[in-house]
Amino acid sequence: MPELPEVEYAAQRLKTAVLGHTLNRVRVLHPATAKYLTPAAVRALVGRRVDRIERRAKIQLVHLDDGSVLEVHFRMTGDWEFSTPGDEAPRFERVRLETQEGAVVSFVDSRALGVVRWHAPGEYILPPLGPEPLTEHFTVESLQRALASRRAPIKPVLLDQRVVSGVGNIYASEALWVAKINPNTIANTITKARLTRLRDAIREVLNAAGEARYYGTQQDPNNTSEARWRVYDREGEECIRCGSAIARIVQAARSTYFCRRCQKA
C-alpha cells in the first residue's frame, strides 16, 4: 500500500526517468482510468515537456511546460514501471506515457482505483492538506489544533489528510503502537505529552519506511516491507514489546491492529 515514503520514492524514480522529456504518446488502457483521463486530456498532453515533478501528501504532480498539471494518485495498488519501446507491456498497465527521448512510463494498478488526471493551466487546486509529517511544520501544536474538535477515535482521524498528510492505514496502526496509544482513544482527549509521543512516532515510522525503501527493500527480497511491520497484519501474534496477542478491530471500514495491553486508552 503506497503511503508517503513509497509515493516519495515513486516521484523520485519518475523524475529520474522523464524530467525534461517531451511526451509523444499517451495511452489509456482501462475504462476506470479513462474516467479521469479523457481523450481531450490525452491530446493536450502530447507534445508537452515535463518541467517539474513534486509530491504533496500521497499526490504526485507532473508540471508541464504549458502550465498544465498531470495529477497522479496511486490509491491502493498503483505504481510506476519503467521500460523502453519494444519491451513487453507490464501486467496491469493502465496508462502508458512515451517520450520523444525514448522513455516509457507505465502506470500499473491491479485494482484500478488509482487516479491519473490532467488539469488545464491554472486549474489545479490542491485539496486541503495538513502539514507534511517529515517537515518542521508538523509540530505538537499543529497536531493539537487539528485534533481539538475531533471527537472520533484517533486511528481513523489520523487517516484524514487534513490532520497530517501522507499517513495511511498501515502506518497509522504502526505509529499508534510505537506511541503506546489505544486506537479507540477519542482524538481530542489525548494529552499534549502523548501527542508529542504520537508526533515522534509518526516521524519514526515514516522515516524507517523511507530508509528501508531506499536502502534495503528493493535489493533484498528477504527484507520485505511486511517484515518491518510491528503490529499491522499481525492479528493473534505476540506483541513484540509485551508478548500479548495483537488484536484486530475494524474502524471506519478499515482494519486496525493494536496491542490491548501496552496501548492504553
Q: Determine the 3-state secondary structure of 197 from DSSP.
A: helix
We find the least distance from the C-beta atom of residue 103 to DNA, in angstroms, to be 26
Instruction: Report, in Å, the least distance between residue 235 CB and DNA.
Output: 9
Residue 48 or 150: the one with the smaller Cβ distance to DNA is 150
CB of 169 to DNA, least distance (A): 3
Classify residue 163 by burial, with Cβ atoms within 10 Å: 0-12, 13-18, 19+.
Answer: buried
Catalytic residue among 75, 203, 254, 260: 254
Closest to DNA by CB, 74 vs 263, is 74
Closer residue to DNA in complex, CB, 183/239: 183
Shortest spacing between CB 111 and DNA, in angstroms: 4
* Catalytic (active site) residue 81: no
The continuous run of DSSP H or E covering 116 comes out as: strand 115-119
Q: Which three cell numbers stand for residue 69?
A: 498539471
Task: Name the grid cell of 89.
Answer: 507491456
3 is catalytic: yes
23 or 201, CB closer to DNA?
Answer: 201
- Output the CA torsion sign for 182, 185, 187, 192: negative
The active-site residue out of 8, 48, 55, 58 is 58
The Cα angle at residue 146 between residues 145 and 148, in degrees rounded to 5 = 60
Q: Which CB atom, from 63 or from 254, has the smaller least distance to DNA?
A: 254
| Closer residue to DNA, CB minimum distance, 36 or 49 | 36
Which is it for strands 104-109 and 50-56: parallel, antiparallel or unpaired?
unpaired
List, as one string, the DSSP characters of 219-259. Answer: T-TTS-HHHH-SSTT-TTSBPTTT-PBEEEEEETTEEEEEE
Q: Is 192 a catalytic residue?
A: no
Question: Measured from the CB of residue 177, what is the shortest distance to DNA in angstroms?
Answer: 14
Least CB distance to DNA at residue 100 (A): 31
Q: Assess whether 133 carries a catalytic annotation.
A: no
Dist. CA 180–CA 177, nearest whole Å = 5
Contacts of 1 (CB under 8 A, 6+ apart): 76, 77, 168, 169, 170
Strand partners, 73: 59, 115
Residue 27 CB coordination number (10 Å) = 14
Binding site for DNA (CB under 7 A): 1, 3, 30-32, 35, 57-59, 73, 75-76, 92, 110-113, 127, 149-153, 156, 159, 161, 168-170, 250, 252-255
What residues are annotated to the active site?
2-3, 58, 254
